[in-house]
Structure 1
Amino acid sequence: MQTSGDQKETLRGGKTSSHARPAPWKAKKAGKKNAGGHQRGRTGVFDPEHVRREQQREPVPSDQRSRALYRTRIGALNRKASPFAFQSIRSDLRNSAVYSSVWSTRFQQLSLPYDKKLRESFQPHTLEFDSRLPEWLDEFEQERLNGDGKVNMETFARQRGMIGRQAWCDMALWILAHRMDYMFDFLRATNKPIYPPINWVEDVLTLMARHYDSVEDGSRHSWLRTLAITFFELVPRETNEQWIFRQDFVKHVVPHFSQSQMGDIFQMVKTEKVKLTPNTLLHVADSFAKRDMLERALSMLLEAKEAGAKVNGIPFRTLCSTILRRSSAQSGGLRICLRLIEHLVAMGVKLNLTLCNIVMLNAVEAGDIETADSVHRSAIEQGLGMDVYTCAIRLKACKLDIQNAERLKQTIEEAIAVGDIRTNEIVATEVLHCLTLQSLTAPDGWQNAFGKIATACVELFDIEPMKRLGLDMPEPPPNPSATPRLAPTRHVFTYLLLALLRRGASTEKAIELYQRWRQLVEAGDPSLAACATTPHVSNVFLRRFVRRRDTLLQAAQVVKDMQKPLPPPPTTAGTTIQAPPNIYTWSIFLHGFASHGQTKLAEQVLTYMRERGIEPNEVTWTSLVGGYARNQDSNGLLDSLRRMQAEGNVFNEWTQGSLRRFRDRDRLRRILDEQRLQRSLDFTGELKDGLGFRLGVGEMGAEGAAAGGDAYEDVGGEAETGSCGQDGGGGGE
């Protein structure tokens, strides 16, 4: 009968003996002898002399790969002395755990391809296996399929002259090396008494997690979900042993747990069925936080703290930041955020500027400027100071109270005092945004809006792109810094053009600017071509052109330009992708025709946008309703209201304002009463579909689609023939 290496090894690495167990008095005497030295604890036996002999017996190799193998083998021996019950360690709660140098060494060789430190210089090394293993695996699979899905490993091994543990070791290593996907069935089939060593199963699960996390063929999530299911099938053992995992397994698999599995892992950790290291607990807490399970995330934080995590270390603080930020999405988010701060302080977390910034941001997003100001003052009093993120959050708060010029002025001065805002694109752009909004809301702000924004712009940004566009910019002051001014972003151009085209530019100037911009975009200008990658700048021009009846044709040209591909750039720079019209583009375009009483053209725009896969929103319908109300077209008004409500849109204050243009108040009241009666007698969706089919609605819809197929060409044609101004009403400025 064959004997295995595992049979010959004990926890100390020596030979097994058939001698009877030492008498109690001998064990007591041995304990006294080693009282000042090395004792057996729940983590096994640590023999420094044995480690020293291993180090002396194996000289340190020179190549990197061999050094890694050497470190892992010696590390496995040293690991037995750890005060924490790491893997490959036997303890009172892990009766099946076995230390085996054969398993540790060969398993680490299989793990080397996943070592990030060796990834560049790693050279594949083929392990040698018993030639009979493939045949044994086939026999194992046949027995598994013929039975209840389980295989008695002890019986299977004895039939082949081995013991169960040795057979499991050899077969598991061979499967990891040659048939990783079969390991799921192998683990399930052998998960029965006598169980395989629990630390070996932990090693296998960890290696599988590392392997499937590196899969790049799109099946990564599916494999890791299967691994998660397998994990929860293996954990319940009749021996009630404790499982120990580190972050190599948890960080890859936990993000793929289902909601119910997250609850299961929480209970396993709380009952110590699964033991995790402090940093691993932080990974679990992070998964809870990202699923908005904040109470459990906080509970895992407490577990990590009790396990020895440094509460003011970077990983712990980072997780605190995540939990605080995620709290803003909860109902009563600011209240929850402030309560979380109290818990974190009670845990010993020292508040820093990052945590204060998150609380300020949550308060601003909740509309509570007073709390944001209070947190800011507290941070200043505690000497935490400010950074660029603080400035950006403070500027965001100014938008909630944009008419408060003093607050905005003070915040801008704070931003300048913190550092050179010319080097921070976010803060500089936020300053311009606030100035633009302030001009928008001030009664006479638009009269000098462009000058105010342009003056701030030349202080912060390079104005050469503005000059190429043809904007009249003031001369920039000398740059006090050696750092060149920032290149303007598309947001900067949006704010400048919005201020200029709102009041400060004639129709001729607006058309000239637009044509010049399109020329620069098609020429691949670095700064101005980027403005075409989103619809914002195009929408600013479009809004300007739909204000007047005589520029509706130019508005149609803007929409047309947005739908054509750009020519390839003359240089080797990347191709600029033209942003197509979005829902705001179509709503602005439709509003232009509706506001001038051209409801037929507005309906064609509605048809055309739907053909492009964009459904109208409340703004779109409000513009159409307003067009029919302006024309005093009661039939069109009633029809548009029916369609609006049939699609689930509800009246808002803007819709009510549009209806006021309908002068026949009695007729309007009857229309609205009829709509309310229609809604009360409405059929179910299924019944309406059946009636529609019988009445030939499908044919009507097909005809309507055919009639509107060339809607865009019709819009351009009618605008060109001058039909836009037949009624003479709704003139421009």
Structure 2
Amino acid sequence: MLLCPQRLVRVRPQALLSAPCRSPGYWHRSSWTPNTRHALQYALNHTSTIQQRSRDGQTVGEVATEPSESEPKQDAEAGNSKQAAKIPRRPKAGLRRISKTSVKSILFSHGLRPSYATTVQQGLNHEIQREKRILSDKSVAIATITRGRSIYNTKGRRLRVWQRAYEEIYKAKHYKREVNDERVIPALDKTGEAILAKIQKDCNGAFRKLWAASDRDFKAKHWQALALWLLRNDVRMFLDFLIVTMKGKETPDFTMVTDCLLYVDNFYYEELKDWTTGPREHGYSWMIEYCMRPATWPILAPPQKGIRLYIRRARPYGVRLAFRTMKERKIQWRAETQLCFVNRFTQLGHADRALNALKLLPRLNDPIFTMNSRGVLRHCCKLLTLDTVEDGESGRNFRILPQLLEMGVRPDRDMMNVVLANAYKTGDHQLGADMLQFMTSQDYAFDSYTYVTLLTNAVSRGDQARVHELIREVDAQEEIRNNPYVANKIFHAHYIFTAKHMDIDADPSGVFYSMLDMYNNLHDITPLKELFIIPPHYKAREEGTNTPPTPMALYIMIATYFRCGCRVSTVQRMYSRFQELVRQGHPSIAPLAATDHTYNEFLIALRKSSRAMHSCVRLVEDMLHPQGNMAIEHAKPSYRTWAILLSVFLWHRRPAAAEKIKDMMEKHQVPYNDVTWNLIINGYANAQKVQETAAAMKAMEAQGFALDSYTMKSLRYLRDPERLWVAVDELDHAAQEADSVRSSTAENPAAIEDALRDELIEKGLQKLGDKNKPKD
């Protein structure tokens, strides 16, 4: 009777002794609570703080206290019955218990110490019972190896100490306060301080050697105190420390590594995203992939927040590896983690992988994240932005939308808005009209996104009547009319139909003031004054009463000002002011430097005069080598920027300068497109260079660009167009001869030697003839 664990617990309840004993005559306190109902009942009914770890990896403190005298006994008994209901039961008959012999065998075969088989076995069986999982032999082996490699291979005292300490420093950092109780945080002893000195002096040298030569107990004793000290005092050094300690067969517990990296990512990511280490300059993403590699993930109850951190920060291959590993090993995951895969694959543009991840969601049977829940539909909206149209056996259809419908997804208005936008992007107006008719028939209420999509399509098609019809619909709905995106789109439509494509009979100043009045009703006019665009006599609203302008609205006003007529000297003065404000980091004007649109408008305005060619070159140099405020990522010259610059010198008949621009384009690896080739052909035709024009036309066709109406329009500048077609025929004839020579020499290698010999004989005869000529 004395050896019965239950009787021992009844006799000595405060000790919570474990059974069986380690050696005859000596009872050992195990870090694992005995798996008996009596011991757990005692622990739940007495005052103690039980640290639990949720499935998401967060530490939760749950305080269990004895009922006070003021509380009714019935409530106390009810509370005890609820606590008893949470007691883990014995495993069901279908659940498999792992034997100690098999654990020993697995550990020994992988070079791990079999002496830890008892704690590993107890931990595995405890998790299997709690999670009610049936593991295959392969999964048992992986789980055993993962647990056996941890220097903290038990869920005992050291893990509870870590949970309390981590929670304390995390809350202190989150609430920006001092730690409440320093006693719960493991302190460095003299040995730990000596190790810390090695880390600070040479982490990848002396400390690496010391750590590799240390045994498991030494690592387990000092890792927590070192990690917590570095997290609080030197987070950059902590990353190097973590990389070193993750090498070798024995590594820190994965849950502890997850806690540390969640702390780093939540509070220091913006500071460390450009961090590098080692001679190969490995970055932050590599560090996440190495320290949280999927091979180390627990199969049973892995920390889900840690896995989601890996998915968010890993590079594309790492994300694919994580998804494949979780499927092959059947690692437990939650719906949030599955949607994290969907979101990451969508960001990477991998539509098929995102669909495969979404198909697995119903298997999780999560009542919150069903296929028609708000969270899932939001991810489906993002996924539909990658949708395309393809021709199949059943006709022309979308590629992603039908698969979502097959999964049971019922599209809401937000999804239909994306589908409508995708339909118009295909260029098939009828397909967009069909989608719009479907939304109307299904009583989908149009929102601001719908009207922005409809206005964008109408403007791109030049359908001015449709734009006016949509504006009337918007004016009847106050909420949509006041939406800034809709207002900006209407403003853009007005610019397209009045300023950009100005009627010949229109008054430029009238067009400018109509655009200025519309802008003044929407946005603050102060930035325009700072750019010297506002005339002195213009009566504007009181400054600061409207919202700050968007970059699009500012760009439209700058382009309108240029297109409505202004002197080149005014454009040069405005550009100098623009660059000054960008360098100062002006909140409204500096963002314009993030794209090439405003720079292109300056180029178009400057190319009118041959005296401004040097200003055009300086503008492109400013884009290539920006100076001043680097908080804004300056745009590099696009192919359109280079094409406009090339047109400046071709239009003013500076062929030598144009050739230099072409060389610069090759240096910066700017590919030619149809616009570039048409500009080159136009320049050669203007300069009456027939051979160069013919060669450019042949090169344009060779790169897959067809001769279009713009090409033919450029050829009208040639005074003798017949010479052009003769030159084209000559180039075709020369190309055919070159092909025939290559084919004949390929078939008969001896022909090459004969041709070379004939050439040498011909050169020798020519030299002999030159020597025999009489001298004058």
Residue of structure 2 equivalent to 1:364 = 424
Amino acid of the residue matched to residue 250 of structure 1? I
Distance 1:78 1:395 in 2: 64
**What is the aligned partner in structure 2 of residue 248 from structure 1?**
305
Closer, same or farther: CA 47–427 of 1 in aligned 2, 3 Å: same
**1:405–1:252 distance in 2 versus 1, CA, 3 Å:** same
Structure 1: runs of 5 or more not aligned:
1-7, 21-39, 59-67, 139-144, 158-165, 236-240, 685-733
- Amino acid in the other structure paired with 2:718: F
Q: Partner residue of 1:353?
A: 413
- List aligned pairs for 1:11-410, cutoff 5 A: 14-18=16-20, 47=40, 50-55=43-48, 71=61, 90-92=127-129, 93=133, 99-110=155-166, 112-114=168-170, 118=174, 120-123=176-179, 126-128=185-187, 170=221, 173=224, 176=227, 189-190=248-249, 201-210=253-262, 213=265, 214=268, 216=272, 217-218=275-276, 219-229=283-293, 231-232=294-295, 234=296, 242-255=299-312, 257=314, 262-270=319-327, 273-305=330-362, 306-308=364-366, 309-311=368-370, 314-328=374-388, 335-343=398-406, 346-347=408-409, 351-376=411-436, 378-379=438-439, 384-402=444-462, 404-410=463-469
CA shift for structure 1 position 524:
5.0
Which residue of the partner structure matches residue 715 of structure 1? Answer: none
Alignment of 1:476-515 (within 5 A): 484-489=545-550, 491-492=552-553, 494-496=555-557, 498=559, 502=563, 505=565, 509-511=566-568, 513-514=570-571
How many Å apart are 1:274 and its aligned residue?
0.5
Residue in structure 2 matching 1:433, options 482, 489, 492: 492
Distance in 1 separating the partners of 2:249 and 2:580: 68
Match of 1:553 in 2: 611
Compared CA separation, residues 269 and 590, structure 1 to 2 (3 A): closer
Amino acid at match of 2:43: H
Q: Distance in 1 between matches of 2:621 and 2:500?
A: 33
What amino acid maps onto 1:461 in structure 2? L
Q: Which moved more, 1:619-628 or 1:648-657?
A: 648-657
Taking the aligned partners of 1:542 and 1:136, their CA distance within structure 2 comes to 62
Partner of 2:675: 619
Provide structure 2 residue ranges, at least 5 long, that are not aligned to the other structure.
Answer: 1-7, 23-34, 52-57, 66-82, 90-94, 96-122, 134-142, 148-152, 199-207, 231-237, 277-282, 743-776
- Structure 1 residues 132 and 528: alpha-carbon distance in aligned structure 2, compared to 1, 3 A threshold: closer
Give CA deviations for 1:179-210 in whole Å, capped at 9, x if unaligned.
8767667667557xxxx9xxx84413423543
State, as a whole percentage, how many aligned pairs show the same letter. Answer: 16
Give the counterpart of 1:461 among 507, 512, 522: 522
Q: CA deviation at 1:554?
A: 4.1
User: Relative to structure 1, is the Cα distance of residues 532 and 205 closer, same or farther in structure 2, using a 3 angstrom cutoff?
Assistant: closer
Letter in structure 2 aligned against 1:399:
V
Instruction: Give, in whole Å, the separation in 1 of the partners of 2:639 and 2:722.
Output: 34
Aligned to 2:770: none
Partner of 2:689: 633
Residue 644 of structure 1, CA deviation:
7.0
**1:160 matched to which residue of 2?**
none
Rounded to whole Å, the distance in 2 between the matches of 1:660 and 1:79 is 92
Give the Cα–Cα distance (whole angstroms) in 2 for the partners of residues 524 and 256 of structure 1.
35
- Partner Cα separation in structure 2 for residue 251 and residue 614 of structure 1: 39
Question: How much has 1:276 moved relative to structure 2?
Answer: 1.2
> What CA distance in whole angstroms lies between the structure 1 residues aligned with 2:85 and 2:674?
66
Cα displacement string for residues 26-65 of structure 1 (whole angstroms, at most 9, x for unaligned residues): xxxxxxxxxxxxxx99xx999465234144899xxxxxxx
Name the amino acid aligned to 1:288: F
Alignment of 1:670 onto 2:726: yes
Q: What amino acid is the match of 2:683?
A: G
Change in Cα spacing, 1:374 to 1:388, as seen in structure 2 (3 Å) is same
Which one of the candidate residues 583, 590, 595 is aligned to 2:646?
A: 590
Give the SS at the match of 1:71. strand
Deviations 1:145-202 (A, max 9, x none): 99xx999x9xx78xxxxxxxx88854664675578767667667557xxxx9xxx844
Deviations 1:370-426 (A, max 9, x none): 444454555566565333333222221213322x22321122233334436775443
C-alpha deviation, 1:678, in angstroms: 5.8
Deviation at 1:577, TM superposition (A): 10
Tell me: CA distance 1:245–1:419, structure 2 relative to 1, closer, same or farther (3 Å): farther
For 1:327, what is the secondary structure of its paired residue? coil
> What is the SS of the residue equivalent to 1:51?
helix
Once the two structures are TM-superposed, the CA of residue 518 in structure 1 deviates from its matched residue by: 4.7
Aligned residues: 594
Matching residue's letter, 1:120: K
8 A Cα contact 2:682 2:715, kept in partner: yes
Residues 58-94 of structure 1: per-residue CA shift (max 9 Å, x gap) = 9xxxxxxxxx98827879x9997699x9999522447
CA distance in 2, matches of 1:117, 1:475: 52
Please report the TM-score for the alignment, with normalisation by the length of structure 1. Answer: 0.63
Question: Aligned letter for 2:601?
Answer: V
Between the aligned partners of 1:397 and 1:579, the Cα distance in structure 2 is 27
**Counterpart pick for 1:540 among 601, 604, 615:** 601
Deviation for aligned residue 1:335? 0.6
**Which segment drifts farther, 49-58 or 425-434?**
49-58
Q: Output the amino acid matched with 1:357.
A: N
CA distance in 1, matches of 2:683, 2:635: 28
Cα distance in 1, alignment partners of residues 357 and 509 from structure 2 = 53
CA deviation digits over 1:653-693, x for unaligned, max 9?
A: 23454345435444323322444466664999xxxxxxxxx
| Alpha-carbon distance, 1:596 to partner | 5.2
Asked whether the 8 Å contact 1:542–1:558 carries over to 2, the reply is yes
Give the whole-Å Cα distance in 2 for the aligned partners of 1:455 and 1:53. Answer: 79
- The separation in 2 between residues aligned to 1:297 and 1:577, in whole angstroms, is 30
Please list, as runs of the form range in 1=range in 2, the aligned pairs for 1:562-601 lying within 5 A after superposition. Answer: 583-595=639-651, 597-601=653-657
Q: Alpha carbons of 1:651 and 1:464: their partners in 2 closer, same or farther (altered >3 Å)?
A: same
Secondary structure in 1 aligned to 2:301?
strand
1:537 is displaced (CA, Å) by 4.6
Secondary structure of 2:399's aligned partner: helix
Q: Secondary structure at the match of 2:491?
A: helix
CA distance in 1 between counterparts of 2:187 and 2:47 reads: 23
Task: For residue 714 of structure 2, give the secondary structure of its aligned residue in structure 1.
Answer: helix
Partners of 2:166 and 2:375 lie apart in 1 by 30
Instruction: Please give the alpha-carbon distance, in whole angstroms, between the structure 2 residues aligned to 1:318 and 1:78.
Output: 41
**What is residue 37 of structure 1 aligned with on the other side?**
none
- Residues 103, 169 of structure 1: 8 Å contact kept: no
Counterparts of 1:619 and 1:376 in 2: how far apart (Å)?
A: 34
In structure 2, what residue type is equivalent to 1:226? Y
Compare relative contact order (CA 8 Å, sep 6+) and give the higher one, 1 or 2.
1
Cα pair distance change 1:500/1:207, threshold 3 Å: closer
CA contact (8 A) 1:288 1:294 kept: yes
What is the rounded CA distance, in whole Å, between the counterparts of 1:110 and 1:531 in structure 2? 41
Deviations 1:250-273 (A, max 9, x none): 122124556565455435444562
Q: Distance in 2 between matches of 1:180 and 1:596?
A: 59
Indicate the residue corresponding to 2:73 in structure 1.
none
Is contact 1:597-1:631 (8 Å) kept?
Answer: yes
